[in-house]
Structure formats: structure tokens, C-alpha cells
């Protein structure tokens, strides 16, 4: 590709981002590259001239996973790659630190990078336009009372649950809300997605790993408090009724590098995954 003509930036709305932003500006100025700010929903912070993502050869996210998801969603419509710069967070989607940003941009310019194609979840509704999620889709109670959720895979009944709701995650998103709710972790290249129940009122609440080719249908009935539908952590609708969910391959491209930290190593370093207390105690007793 060579040195990009224009780089778009998406930034965290409140976190201190001056150091990575200054490094991006300095790199771009030295190489005659334009930097614009790509507008995303809910973003009021201004750090550069606003511009459309279609003008950019690369989008750079500066923040955590939420900022990265906003950048990915902006990039999907125009098929641009996204480089994530971590900014003091526990994010798993970001690739480099501020100290590594110059080198990462040089490597991108020299085509020394790996396009990491990630899938998304298509969500068809009976009461609204279709949606697309990169991380997860969540149906959750919005007040008192329970949600009743009936799930079917390719027409076959899986479970009927009463409780807080459920979350459906891509492999990318399985390390986020789904993992926190007790769901399985999918490796990044897993050709599947996962349904994880949230807290339930009795009964079984096993998560289910679903083949990429299969279709999941959720029928939802809310209690007196109502329900909300969240896509990638953002509330998009109230009182969803029927959701038809499938996996759509390669919706976005993330900038990766051959020597970057592996997912399992990152989860352990951040202590999202930890060893059994018995094992830790045994290790401490070793000479």
C-alpha cells in the first residue's frame, strides 16, 4: 500500500490520549499524511478536522475496546483497516501502545502487517431494521421482572429461560460480556458463535457454541420492567420480541502483526484468566 495519504482517528471521549495522539500527529506531519477525525455516535470531543471514513486509508483507534468497536463500525461501511492503540485500559482489541505507534504505522506503510478479518452477527428483527454486531448482542431486562427467552437453533428448541436475559457473542466478543457471564472463550479463528444465558431463575443455564452456518432465533417476552436490546454495548431498542441471528464472515479488518501478543497470553497478563488458588499456593511453596 505504501504510506497512506490520509489517516482517520477515533478517540476515547474522556481519557487522557494526548501522548498517543501527539505521536500520531508527529508521524503524519513528517510524512505529509493528513489526519482527520472520523465522527462516531456519542462523540463530542474534537481533536482534528472532521472527515468521512471513506477519505482514509487507515483508521486509528485511541482508547480501549469501546473506542475500538466504534472505529470498527465506522470502518465497516467503507472497508478500511483499523489499528487499535491502547490507552491505559484492559482492552483486548487494541494492538499497540503509544510507544509502539510509530513503528506500527511504519510497518503498515511497508505492508508488514497481517489483515485480521473478523466476523459479525447479523440481527434481523420483526419490529425494526436489521442490525450488525462485531462483539455481541444482548437482550436484557430493563427493570423489575424477568425476561423469558426461548432459543432455537436451526428450528430446534434449545432452552426456555426466565431471568436477566442472554448475550450472543462472536469469537472476538467471547472474551467480553459473554466470558463475564460464565460463557466459554472462543479462540479468535473459531468458526462459530456462542449463546450465553445471564442470571436465571432456576433451571439449567448452559451456554451453547453454535456453528457458523447455523441460525439462532430468540423469542423474548418481558416482565413489567421491560427489556432492552444492546449491540456492542450500546442500547439500540426497547422491548425486542423476535431476533434472528446469524454469523457473517469477514465484516471488518483489524491491523495485526506477526509478533503481537496472543489472545491467551493477553488474557493471562491482564489477569482476566487466572490459575486455581490451589495451584497458586503450590507454586508459592516451591523452593
Mean pLDDT (whole number) for 172-197: 94
pLDDT for 56 equals 97
- What secondary structure, in 3-state letters, does 133-193 show? ECCEEEEEECCCCCEEEEEEECCEEEEEEEECEEEEECCHHHHCHHHHCCCCCCCCCCCEE
Residue range 34-71, pLDDT digits in tens: 999 999 987 888 889 999 999 999 999 999 888 999 99
pTM for the whole structure: 0.91
Residue range 111-159, pLDDT digits in tens: 999 999 999 999 999 888 999 999 999 999 999 999 999 999 999 999 9
3-state secondary structure of 263: helix
Question: In this structure, are residues 232 and 136 in contact, taking their beta carbons and an 8 Å threshold?
Answer: yes
Residue 285 has pLDDT above 80, yes or no: no
Question: What are the grid coordinates assigned to 151, written together?
Answer: 432459543
Q: Residue 270 — very low, low, confident or very high, per pLDDT cuts 50/70/90? A: confident
The distance from CA 3 to its chain's CA centroid, rounded to whole angstroms, is: 28
CA 150/CA 158 separation, integer angstroms: 8
Residues with catalytic roles: 65
Question: In this structure, are residues 140 and 165 in contact, taking their beta carbons and an 8 Å threshold?
Answer: yes
CATH architecture for the domain at 6-113+257-277: 3-Layer(aba) Sandwich (3.40)
Question: Domain boundaries in the chain?
Answer: 6-113+257-277, 120-250
Contacts of 258 (CB under 8 A, 6+ apart): 114
Do the domains 120-250 and 6-113+257-277 match in fold?
no
| CATH number of the 120-250 domain | 2.60.200.30
Q: What is the mean pLDDT of the chain?
A: 93
Amino acid at each position: 500500500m505504501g504510506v497512506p495519504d490520509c489517516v482517520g482517528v477515533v478517540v476515547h471521549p474522556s481519557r487522557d490520549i494526548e501522548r498517543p495522539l501527539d505521536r500520531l500527529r508527529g508521524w503524519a506531519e513528517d510524512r505529509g499524511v493528513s489526519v482527520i477525525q472520523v465522527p462516531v455516535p456519542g462523540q463530542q470531543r474534537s481533536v482534528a478536522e472532521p472527515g468521512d471514513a471513506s477519505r482514509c486509508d487507515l483508521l486509528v483507534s485511541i482508547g480501549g475496546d469501546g473506542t475500538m468497536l466504534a472505529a470498527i463500525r465506522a470502518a465497516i461501511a467503507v472497508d478500511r483497516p483499523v489499528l487499535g492503540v491502547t490507552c491505559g485500559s484492559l482492552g483486548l482489541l487494541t494492538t499497540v501502545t503509544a510507544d509502539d505507534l510509530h513503528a506500527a504505522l511504519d510497518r503498515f506503510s511497508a505492508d508488514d502487517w497481517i489483515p485480521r478479518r473478523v466476523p459479525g452477527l447479523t440481527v434481523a428483527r420483526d419490529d425494526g431494521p436489521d442490525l450488525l454486531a462485531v462483539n455481541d448482542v444482548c437482550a436484557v431486562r430493563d427493570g423489575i421482572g424477568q425476561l423469558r427467552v426461548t432459543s432455537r437453533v436451526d428450528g430446534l428448541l434449545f432452552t426456555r429461560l426466565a431471568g436477566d436475559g442472554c448475550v450472543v457473542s462472536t469469537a472476538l466478543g467471547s472474551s467480553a460480556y459473554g466470558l463475564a457471564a460464565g460463557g466459554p472463550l472462543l479462540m479468535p479463528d473459531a468458526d462459530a458463535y456462542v449463546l450465553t444465558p445471564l442470571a436465571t431463575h432456576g433451571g439449567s443455564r448452559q451456554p451453547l457454541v453454535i456453528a457458523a452456518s447455523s441460525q439462532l432465533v430468540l423469542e423474548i417476552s418481558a416482565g413489567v420492567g421491560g427489556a432492552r436490546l444492546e449491540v456492542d454495548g450500546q442500547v439500540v431498542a426497547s422491548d425486542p420480541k423476535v431476533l434472528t441471528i446469524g454469523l457473517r464472515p469477514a465484516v471488518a479488518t483489524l491491523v495485526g502483526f506477526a509478533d503481537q501478543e496472543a489472545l491467551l497470553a493477553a488474557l493471562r497478563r491482564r489477569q482476566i484468566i487466572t490459575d486455581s488458588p490451589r495451584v497458586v499456593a503450590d507454586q508459592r511453596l516451591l523452593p
